[in-house]
Structure formats: C-alpha cells, structure tokens
Amino acid sequence: MSGTLDGLTIIEIGGIGPAPFCGMMLADHGAEVVLVHRPGAAPDLRDPLNRSRARLVEADLKTPEGAALVRDLARTADGLIEGFRPGVMERLGLGPDALLADNPRLVYGRMTGWGQDGPLAPAPGHDIDYIAVSGALHAFGRAGEKPTPPINMVGDFGGGGMLLAFGMVAGLLKAQRTGRGDVIDCAMTDGSSLLMSMIWGFRQNLPAPLPPSLAWRDERGVNLLDTGAPFYEVYETSDGKYVAVGAIEPAFHIALMRLTGLGSDPDFAMPFDPDQWPRLKDRLAAVFRTRTRDDWCSDPDAQAACVAPVLSMTEAPDHPHNRAREAFVTAQGVMQPAPAPRFRDSPARRPE
C-alpha cells in the first residue's frame, strides 16, 4: 500500500520551522520530498521535522551551479516549497516566474511570516509577532494578565506549515485537473487570523443560538473558551498536577456536578451567567484540590464530565489511548508524534 501522495515529487528548499513541517506532512503521506540543503549543513534526520525525506541534495544556491541544480530538479517536479523572505528566490534566479516557465504544472509554495506583499512583507519576525498583529495573541491568557504565547503552535505550525500543506495539496489537485500549476502565498499572520474564524463569529454573537450573555468580549479570560467559564478550565489537584474540564453542554455539566458533589448546590443552577463565573471557579478549584489527578480521572463520572488529565510530554506516550492508537513512535532513538491524519487504505509512512 502507498500513501495518498505517492507518485508526487516535491522539492523542499531547506529552512526551519513551518516549511519543514509542511515537507514532513507531505513526505509522511507518500510524496517523494527532495530536501535541498546548504553545503556543510546537512539536516539532522533524527529531527522529526526532517523525517520521511526521499533524499538529500547539497547545493549552494548563491552559485550558478547550485541554482541550476535546483532549476533542473524543478523541471520534472510536481511542487516546490521555500521559506525565504520575499524576493530572495527571485534574486537567486529561482523565483516562481522562472520555474513555472520551465514547468507550467509546478505548484510553488511560499512560506513567510508577513506574506509576499504589504508594508511588513520585508520585515523580520517570529511566530509571536505574526500572531500579535493578527489579533490572535491578544486572546490567549487569563483575566487581568498579559497575553501568553501558545508556544509557536498557532503561527508557525497551525497557521503556517499546516496551511501551506493544505495549499500545496489544493494546488496539486488543480494542476492535475487543469495542467496548470500555481503560486501559493502562505503567510503565518494570515493563517493565525484564519484559525480565529469561530471566535470572530462569537465576537459578533454568531451563531444565533448562543445566549447573548456569551457573546465574545474582546478581553482575555472572561469568555466561554478562554478560561473564563468554570466548566472550561484547568484545575490543580492535591498532588500539584492538573485536570482539564470541558463540561460545556448540559449533560456534561450534570456529570461534572455528580463528579464534584456539587449537584445540589444552588450556586451552580445557572452555569451560563458570566457574572457568577469567578465565584464558581473558586468553588470548583477548592473541590479539585481535595483529590489527586489520577484519582479524579479514574472516577466513573470523569469521562462523562469531559474531565481529562493534563499530561506532560513525558507522560503522554504512555497513556492507554495513545498507546492503543500508536499515537507516538520512536525513530532513530527519538520519541515523536506519529503521522496524521490516518487513511484507511493508504497509510502514511512510519518514521524509521
């Protein structure tokens, strides 16, 4: 059996972070990804982001010979991905106009922070900057506290590498259908904004069934999903560990009341009243501190209440569910997440 992208060849111009993540996604699912790297800077293949590559090619793109090598590779490839600032590939003679002139079917993926145009396009930056300008960073954090960057999941990987992988697959489908490739301008600031689409709807009190009291407020830690609500929060347990509570729907909330023994408490009769949330959170916090994390999570009502243990990276691979699904694998001595998503008839490559 072959991966879903078997038969496709992608040229990856070596970089860091989101572009290699896109290359990993495509390679995991069967594409032949040829990773081009600078002389003397061969990538460490133990790094999960570098796994599944078909082969490595050394080339100094600043030399005519190196640029010619990449151009030759691109003539027969289905796609190319790069993560330089705007204009760099053009100055090397490897911009999309040149490569699509050689190969009209080529899908040319460009991964940047700010995009190919706009006043910030040439500026340096990192994930934290891109999600700051998109409005996403403002939403992460607790009430009364400064914004907390969600490491670099939202800009680099969710709004960057994952979105570029989607763009590449969409472009490849178009090329197969029409015989014409395309150029993908994937900007992390655009992607992080896109990931906030549901919250933008909530901000305008959509969808309509939401109670008006739950309209999203443009401040941290006071809303339904940002630790404002007592039933969507992380609580410390007696052993200094934590449980995650996601008891939003009424049936889950009833189970949470059973689990905590607060079912007969009149204070919890109106859980969707934001004015009561700070006080209800204090009550729940006191209850959760009376038992250990694992004791809470082994309670029969825990799953019904959408209560889960907050596992460390050390613990997560050994969780029974993760073990059953083989969600983590070890390759070259490195523990790492297994490829995803899963296809029934075309399984992804297993990292080796």
CA atoms within 13 A on the CB side of 138: 11
Q: Which of 37, 126, 138, 319 is catalytic?
A: 126
Catalytic residue among 78, 127, 156, 190: 156
- Rg, the chain, Cα only: 24
Closest CA to 9 of 113, 20, 23, 18: 23
Cis-peptide, bond into residue 207, ω within 30° of zero: yes
Reduce the DSSP state of residue 210 to 3 states and report it: coil
Q: How many residues does the chain have?
A: 352
**Nearest residue to 337 via CA among 346, 348, 42:** 348
For residue 30, what are its two tokens? 């069967």
Active site residue 156: yes
Residue 183 sits at φ, ψ, to 5 deg, of -120, 125
Cα dihedral 59, 65, 67, 73 sign: negative
Instruction: Give the up-direction half-sphere exposure of residue 285: CA atoms within 13 A in the CB hemisphere.
Output: 13
Q: Is 126 annotated in the active site?
A: yes
The residues assigned a catalytic role are 126, 156
